[in-house]
Amino acid sequence: FTSNAERAAALPSWLDHYNLDRHHLGITGIPIDRINNGRGQYT
């Protein structure tokens, strides 16, 4: 990035990708928003 403003403008979409869309290796590559009861704690 060439400025802090440019970085700040790009951050929300990057966070959405990082938290919701990317493949999470610890949960067999499934994006986190597609996991339900991943730890098996809910009955």
Of 10, 19, 42, nearest to 1 by C-alpha is: 10
- The string of pLDDT tens digits covering residues 6-35 is 999 999 999 988 877 776 666 666 666 666
Task: Give CA separation, 35 vs 12, 18, 29, 32, in Å.
Answer: 22, 15, 11, 5
DSSP string, the chain: --SHHHHHHHHHHHHHIIIIIS--GGGTT--GGG-SSTTS---
The confidence score (pLDDT) of residue 10 equals: 97
The confidence score (pLDDT) of residue 19 equals: 78
Q: Is the pTM of this model over 0.85?
A: no
Indicate if the pLDDT at residue 42 is higher than 90.
no
The confidence score (pLDDT) of residue 6 equals: 97
The confidence score (pLDDT) of residue 21 equals: 75
